[in-house]
């Protein structure tokens, strides 16, 4: 038990001095902080998500490096290339060449005797290889080997992008005679070829040029071989010379650093980026499903959370994580100097990623409406992203990439957001490819297949996705709100209500509505007044109810009149009471039938239940497992929809007007619904903040509550580190911290040790005493608890209210007998004598049970004069060997067992 000092604190806390407000700002702030804390605690997961961006970009980059390495491209300038082929050619090795034009080697002939001569003429080898006309190089003067290398090296542009030359020839006569004394000539050709593959060919695109260059090289070399050979062997002066001595060498051009010739980055980046920007989808889906499966959304909803604020905060967090990943992606992309980032205008790609983010988060929300379980959602999430990634890129390459398709094919493909996104990536990638200038803002247009059309498509699709999400959220079953008819949005009434809501239900208005209840139930000043009025009304109704015929209060032709005939008197009275009074909680003929699935029969969880919970009353709802207690609380808190009947809380229908009172409802569900990664203090702060408590007020309130529930020492421990009992206590504390007017406690003390149990009892008792008329529904399996806390008790069985009344009433109503117990020692004879003695004293008594000398009797109350019994037992117990004896009232447990065993009827009392 608590000290009087702390009880005083508690009492102060429980006085409803602050009105509960469910304003947009409070809810937003509470949810935002909670989500922020949870995200902060999920450092590892978040880091992994963000690192994926890093990994993907680095993977492409590494692949590019590998490719470069294996293709053996230069990384250093080659200023003095080595010959890699050198040797003598025989006639048979020199291919045939029909040189109708002939080759003009006259120039070299002038100087051959002097040693070296170089020539690379403007040859026209054949029509097929016209490029040579532009690309051969001619050296007029004698040059040293180094000079030639230098000259060729300089023929490359400053950027090293390529030389206009395709080749050069160095011609050397090693030995040569004069006209009178013919000496066998020896010739040496060194042919330089340009393998960088970037000859400038006007009018041709770069790719074609590259391909052309690859094809071109052998022709060029071949042409040089043959022309040189033909000339030397058939020239005037060398007519008799043997050509066996001619040597031909091949050399690469001296060249600057080689640039990538296979640009994997520009080819593969759309696919990799597509992968990266889909990767977060399952993460978003799982995040929502975790809250859904653990019924965390449900408990927040029950305590007044505006679901629109919930989705808004969720959106902000999902989108922020997405933006973080985009930022990392940009940093790496810019640092590694990817053309995609450097060449394209920043806005052109940034806009694409921004719009895609909306689609991605929207898809996450949409998919989350289809699942209830984390496992299925995870599997489906990954399957769907694989389909979207591979499907969109394949469709793109086969349909858009091929070109030539009509507009309708293109438009239908864009109906898949991933295809539109992929198309955008591909356009930006093409614009930033080698030799391309990058996309400028002036390139953005709305024409079909242009980047502008991609932006527009993604924008429209984001809106459609969010609308679809809203639709599925409303019509698919979930565990936190009642589902709507699939055609709800096509009904006039729906739009009419929406318009009304938009006009009226601003968050501030709720406060106004709450405090203008029919009978000012939540208004403390009016409470005492209303209470005295009610007392008078109660006397009136009670006298009517206590009259001989309770049916007098109903019309005989009323349906209820007929139904009531078979009901026990206490239930009939309760029905009449509910009908005639405005209880804060009024349940009228409430029925809930769960549809049987997989061949199972339907379950009637509640069957025409009538019940009223009075102001300031703690109502104990008892019943065996499956009696319908939780179902009742679920209906009252708006989690489940009833099949028939109605229920009002403070005059508002729970089916249609629950939002108006949720700010004043505190619920402790049967299972603990808590965030494992929040601390106890943060959990309480969340609920208090959601209900408008701020700053110092909030701090003090939380501290006090933690103290009241014995959790002060564990306030900074995470919930996952709490014991079962601690979790239960914090669950109850969450339901009470914001001083709700209506409180539902579903088995609040299950699993608690006796001390903690008593602590919670004290708190509930204090709410009753000082809570200013708060009404509590308490379900429990503990008779002791029900007796200790409940003003009235109702026993439910198979969805039917079997009996109702105070614990004393129930015991006296169903307990017309005393239970007499005795223990006898000394053998069978003595036991027989003792039993005969009791039977002679109470001729109508019955033995309930007997076990090895211990006997229990049932004795009608009117047969017992307690003083006489005590005196007789005192005098004669020793004579009959009675070592111990006692007499007791019927317990509530016995009443409960009796009623729920199904043998209860109006006159069947024990």
Ligand X SMILES: Nc1ncnc2c1ncn2[C@@H]1O[C@H](COP(=O)(O)OP(=O)(O)OP(=O)(O)O)[C@@H](O)[C@H]1O
- Write out the residues near ligand X by the rule CB under 6 A: 594, 603, 605, 623, 625-631, 670
Is there a contact between 256 and 160 (Cβ–Cβ < 8 Å)? yes
Strand 618-622 to strand 792-797: parallel, antiparallel, or no bridges (unpaired)? parallel
CA dist 611 and 562 (Å) reads: 18
Of the two residues 223 and 627, which places its CB atom closer to ligand X in the complex?
627
We find the least distance from the C-beta atom of residue 484 to ligand X, in angstroms, to be 18
We find the least distance from the C-beta atom of residue 667 to ligand X, in angstroms, to be 14
Of the two residues 16 and 623, which places its CB atom closer to ligand X in the complex?
623
Of the two residues 629 and 802, which places its CB atom closer to ligand X in the complex?
629
Of the two residues 357 and 628, which places its CB atom closer to ligand X in the complex?
628
We find the least distance from the C-beta atom of residue 317 to ligand X, in angstroms, to be 30
Which whole-number Å values give the CA distances from 199 to 136, 138, 807, in the listed order?
11, 16, 102
Element (H, E) at 885: strand 882-888
Environment class of residue 121 by beta-carbon count within 10 Å: exposed (0-12), middle (13-18) or buried (19+)? middle
Q: At residue 470, what are phi and psi to the nearest 5 degrees?
A: -60, -40
Of the two residues 605 and 609, which places its CB atom closer to ligand X in the complex?
605
Of the two residues 601 and 866, which places its CB atom closer to ligand X in the complex?
601
CA dist 536 and 892 (Å) reads: 30
We find the least distance from the C-beta atom of residue 802 to ligand X, in angstroms, to be 13
We find the least distance from the C-beta atom of residue 733 to ligand X, in angstroms, to be 21
We find the least distance from the C-beta atom of residue 373 to ligand X, in angstroms, to be 14
Strand 83-88 to strand 247-252: parallel, antiparallel, or no bridges (unpaired)? antiparallel
Of the two residues 248 and 636, which places its CB atom closer to ligand X in the complex?
636
We find the least distance from the C-beta atom of residue 623 to ligand X, in angstroms, to be 5
CA dist 333 and 370 (Å) reads: 36
| Secondary structure (DSSP) of 445-468 | --STTSHHHHHHHHHHHHHHHHHH
Of the two residues 625 and 716, which places its CB atom closer to ligand X in the complex?
625
We find the least distance from the C-beta atom of residue 592 to ligand X, in angstroms, to be 8
Of the two residues 643 and 812, which places its CB atom closer to ligand X in the complex?
643
Strand 186-193 to strand 167-175: parallel, antiparallel, or no bridges (unpaired)? antiparallel
Is there a contact between 793 and 806 (Cβ–Cβ < 8 Å)? yes
Q: 799 Cβ partners below 8 Å, 6+ apart?
A: 591, 592, 604, 605, 606, 607, 609, 627, 628, 631
Of the two residues 625 and 905, which places its CB atom closer to ligand X in the complex?
625
We find the least distance from the C-beta atom of residue 745 to ligand X, in angstroms, to be 13
Of the two residues 623 and 771, which places its CB atom closer to ligand X in the complex?
623
CA dist 92 and 89 (Å) reads: 8
Encode 661-685 in three state secondary structure: CHHHEEEECCCCCCCCCCEHHHHHH
Of the two residues 568 and 628, which places its CB atom closer to ligand X in the complex?
628
We find the least distance from the C-beta atom of residue 622 to ligand X, in angstroms, to be 9
We find the least distance from the C-beta atom of residue 790 to ligand X, in angstroms, to be 16
Of the two residues 181 and 625, which places its CB atom closer to ligand X in the complex?
625
CA dist 666 and 765 (Å) reads: 16
What is the residue whose two structure tokens read 């729920």? 900
We find the least distance from the C-beta atom of residue 612 to ligand X, in angstroms, to be 20
Is there a contact between 358 and 462 (Cβ–Cβ < 8 Å)? yes
- Using alpha carbons, select from 352, 355, 415 the residue that is nearest to residue 388: 415
CA dist 291 and 501 (Å) reads: 28
Is there a contact between 741 and 521 (Cβ–Cβ < 8 Å)? yes
We find the least distance from the C-beta atom of residue 631 to ligand X, in angstroms, to be 3
Of the two residues 796 and 873, which places its CB atom closer to ligand X in the complex?
796
CA dist 797 and 799 (Å) reads: 5
Of the two residues 46 and 603, which places its CB atom closer to ligand X in the complex?
603
Is there a contact between 775 and 602 (Cβ–Cβ < 8 Å)? no
We find the least distance from the C-beta atom of residue 644 to ligand X, in angstroms, to be 15
Describe the strand order of the beta sheet including 854-860 as a list of residue ranges.
846-851, 854-860, 817-824, 882-888
Buried b (16+ CB within 10 A) or exposed e, 629-668: bbbbbbbbbbbbebbebebbbbbbebeeebbbbbbbbbbb
We find the least distance from the C-beta atom of residue 593 to ligand X, in angstroms, to be 9
We find the least distance from the C-beta atom of residue 726 to ligand X, in angstroms, to be 21
We find the least distance from the C-beta atom of residue 699 to ligand X, in angstroms, to be 36
Is there a contact between 334 and 698 (Cβ–Cβ < 8 Å)? no
Of the two residues 249 and 645, which places its CB atom closer to ligand X in the complex?
645
Is there a contact between 881 and 826 (Cβ–Cβ < 8 Å)? yes
CA dist 21 and 698 (Å) reads: 13
We find the least distance from the C-beta atom of residue 795 to ligand X, in angstroms, to be 11
CA dist 452 and 428 (Å) reads: 12
Per-residue tokens: 34 = 């909670």
Of the two residues 389 and 668, which places its CB atom closer to ligand X in the complex?
668
Strand partners of residue 795: 622, 803
Of the two residues 4 and 625, which places its CB atom closer to ligand X in the complex?
625
Per-residue tokens: 622 = 């008892």
CA dist 349 and 388 (Å) reads: 20
């Amino acid at each position: 038990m608590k000290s009087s000092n702390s009880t005083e604190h508690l009492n102060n806390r429980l006085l409803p001095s602050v009105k509960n407000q469910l304003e947009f700002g409070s809810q937003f702030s509470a949810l935002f902080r909670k989500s922020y804390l949870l995200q902060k605690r999920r450092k590892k997961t978040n880091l992994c998500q963000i690192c994926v961006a890093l990994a993907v970009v680095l993977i492409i980059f590494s692949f590019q490096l590998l490719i470069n390495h294996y293709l053996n491209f230069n990384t250093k300038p080659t200023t003095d290339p080595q010959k890699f082929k050198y040797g003598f050619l025989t006639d048979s090795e020199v291919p045939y060449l029909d040189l109708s034009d002939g080759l003009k080697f006259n120039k070299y002939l002038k100087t051959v005797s002097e040693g070296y001569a170089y020539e690379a003429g403007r040859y026209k080898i054949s029509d097929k290889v016209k490029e040579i006309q532009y690309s051969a190089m001619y050296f007029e003067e004698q040059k040293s080997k180094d000079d030639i290398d230098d000259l060729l090296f300089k023929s490359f542009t400053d950027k090293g992008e390529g030389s206009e030359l395709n080749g050069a020839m160095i011609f050397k006569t090693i030995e040569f005679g004069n006209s009178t004394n013919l000496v066998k000539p020896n010739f040496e050709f060194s042919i330089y070829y340009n393998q960088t593959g970037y000859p400038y060919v006007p009018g041709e695109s770069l790719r074609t040029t590259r391909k052309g260059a690859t094809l071109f090289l052998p022709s060029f070399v071949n042409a040089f071989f043959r022309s040189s050979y033909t000339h030397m062997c058939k020239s005037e002066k060398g007519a008799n010379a043997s050509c066996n001595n001619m040597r031909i060498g091949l050399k690469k051009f001296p060249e600057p650093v080689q640039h990538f010739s296979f640009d994997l980055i520009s080819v593969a980046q759309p696919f990799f980026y597509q992968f990266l920007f889909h990767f977060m989808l399952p993460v978003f889906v799982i995040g929502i499903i975790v809250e859904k499966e653990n019924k965390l959304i449900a408990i927040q909803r029950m305590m007044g959370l505006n679901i629109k604020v919930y989705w808004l905060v969720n959106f902000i967090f999902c989108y922020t994580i997405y933006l973080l990943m985009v930022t990392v992606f940009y940093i790496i992309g810019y640092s590694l100097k990817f053309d995609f980032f450097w060449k394209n205008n920043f806005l052109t790609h940034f806009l694409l990623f921004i719009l895609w983010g909306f689609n991605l988060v929207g898809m996450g929300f949409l998919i989350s409406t289809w699942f209830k379980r984390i496992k299925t959602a995870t599997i489906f999430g990954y399957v769907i992203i694989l389909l979207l990634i591979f499907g969109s890129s394949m469709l793109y390459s086969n349909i858009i990439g091929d070109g030539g398709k009509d507009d309708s094919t293109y438009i239908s493909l864009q109906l898949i957001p991933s295809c539109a996104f992929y198309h955008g990536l591909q356009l930006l990638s093409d614009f930033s490819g080698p030799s391309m200038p990058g996309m400028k803002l002036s390139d953005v247009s709305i024409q079909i297949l242009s980047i502008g059309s991609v932006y527009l498509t993604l924008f429209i699709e984001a809106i459609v996705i969010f609308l679809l999400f809203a639709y599925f959220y409303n019509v698919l079953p979930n565990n936190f709100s009642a589902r709507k008819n699939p055609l709800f949005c096509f009904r006039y009434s729906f739009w009419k209500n929406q318009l009304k809501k938009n006009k009226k239900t601003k968050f501030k208005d709720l406060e106004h509505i709450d405090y203008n209840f029919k009978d000012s139930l939540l208004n403390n000043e009016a409470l005492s007044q209303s209470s005295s009025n009610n007392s008078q009304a109660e006397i009136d109704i009670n006298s009517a109810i206590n009259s001989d015929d309770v049916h007098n209060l109903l019309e005989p032709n009323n349906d209820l009149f007929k139904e009531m005939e078979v009901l026990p008197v206490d239930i009939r009275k309760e029905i009449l009471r509910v009908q005639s009074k405005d209880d804060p909680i009024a349940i009228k003929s409430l029925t809930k039938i769960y549809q049987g699935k997989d061949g199972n029969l339907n379950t009637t969880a509640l069957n025409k239940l009538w019940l009223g919970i009075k102001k300031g009353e703690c109502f104990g709802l008892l019943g065996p497992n499956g009696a319908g207690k939780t179902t009742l609380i679920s209906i009252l808190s708006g989690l489940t929809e009833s099949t028939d009947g109605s229920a009002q809380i403070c005059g508002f229908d729970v089916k249609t007007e629950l939002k108006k009172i949720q700010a004043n409802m505190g619920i402790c569900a049967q299972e603990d619904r808590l965030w494992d990664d929040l601390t106890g203090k943060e959990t309480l702060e969340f609920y208090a903040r959601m209900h408008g408590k701020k700053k110092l007020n909030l701090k003090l309130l939380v501290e006090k509550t933690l103290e009241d529930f014995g959790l002060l020492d564990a306030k900074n421990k995470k919930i996952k580190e709490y014991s079962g009992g601690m979790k239960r206590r914090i669950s109850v504390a969450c339901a009470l911290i914001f001083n709700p007017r209506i409180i539902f406690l579903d088995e609040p003390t299950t699993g608690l040790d006796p001390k903690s149990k008593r602590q919670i009892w004290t708190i509930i008792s204090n709410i009753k005493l000082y809570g200013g008329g708060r009404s509590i529904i308490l379900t429990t399996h503990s008779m002791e608890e029900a007796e200790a806390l409940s003003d009235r008790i109702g026993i439910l069985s198979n969805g039917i209210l079997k009996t109702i009344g105070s614990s004393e009433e129930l015991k006296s109503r169903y307990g017309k007998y005393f239970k007499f117990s005795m223990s006898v020692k000394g053998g069978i004879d003595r036991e027989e004598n003792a039993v005969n003695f009791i039977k002679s004293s109470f001729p109508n008594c019955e033995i309930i049970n007997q076990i090895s000398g211990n006997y229990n009797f049932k004795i009608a109350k009117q047969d017992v004069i307690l003083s006489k019994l005590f005196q007789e037992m005192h005098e004669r117990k020793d004579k009959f060997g009675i070592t111990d004896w006692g007499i007791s009232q019927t317990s509530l447990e016995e009443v409960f067992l009796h009623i729920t065993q199904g043998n209860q009827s109006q006159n069947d009392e024990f």
